[in-house]
Amino acid sequence: MKNKMMKTVFILLTITFFSLNVVCNTNKSNSPIIEQHEQEGQLKLNNGKRWKANIETSNGVNGMIKLMESFTASKNPKDYNKLSKELRAEMNTIFDKCSMKGEAHDNLHAFLVPIFGYLKELNSDEIDTCNNGFNSMDKQLKLYKDYFE
């Protein structure tokens, strides 16, 4: 049962990842934007300034931050699994309302891509994996205000 659930989660993450890549455009060389950021591996500023994000993106990220802040640490992985589901709903809203273009859009993807892995960790049956996912997610979400306004 556990393996079947993990396979289902992996398949859903993979579909979301590739759907995001197709829906949100490609770079000039026709390589997927996600692939470009995996090669670059870093968020960047806009000539020393933060990127302008659309309001829906900021609202979605702020919603994720609020969910994280209101979460009470637990020894039960099911609590983290529930948080993962709630965070994923906010991510879906961000993707549905994606209207950013150009380098700002590319940097948004560089910011969002690691979150997929953290959501997977939060959805684990192992409490240590859940805690790691929570801590990593918290650090990633706190980066938003450093790179986007």
pLDDT tens-digit map of 62-106: 999 999 999 999 999 999 999 999 999 999 999 899 899 999 999
Q: Is residue 46 part of a domain?
A: no
Q: Which tokens in the block code for residue 107? A: 């940097």
Q: Residue 74 has what DSSP assignment?
A: -
Q: What is the pLDDT of residue 105?
A: 92
For residue 113, count CB atoms less than 10 angstroms from its CB and return exposed for 0-12, middle for 13-18, buried for 19 or more: middle
Q: What is the pLDDT of residue 98?
A: 84
Q: Is residue 94 part of a domain?
A: yes
Q: Is residue 69 part of a domain?
A: yes
In which domain, by residue range, is 61 found? 2-24+54-147
Q: Which tokens in the block code for residue 93? A: 């809203």
Distance CA 118, CA 145 (A): 19
Q: What is the pLDDT of residue 11?
A: 52
Q: Is residue 62 part of a domain?
A: yes
Mean pLDDT of the residues in the chain: 81
**What value does the CA radius of gyration of the chain take, rounded to a whole number of Å?**
15
Q: Is residue 91 part of a domain?
A: yes
Question: What's the number of domains the chain is made of?
Answer: 1
Distance CA 13, CA 116 (A): 7
Q: Which tokens in the block code for residue 138? A: 């918290």
Q: Is residue 38 part of a domain?
A: no
Q: Is residue 93 part of a domain?
A: yes
Higher-confidence residue of 36 and 66: namely 66
pLDDT-derived band at 6 (thresholds 50, 70, 90) equals very low
Q: What is the pLDDT of residue 142?
A: 96
Q: Is residue 47 part of a domain?
A: no
For residue 123, count CB atoms less than 10 angstroms from its CB and return exposed for 0-12, middle for 13-18, buried for 19 or more: buried
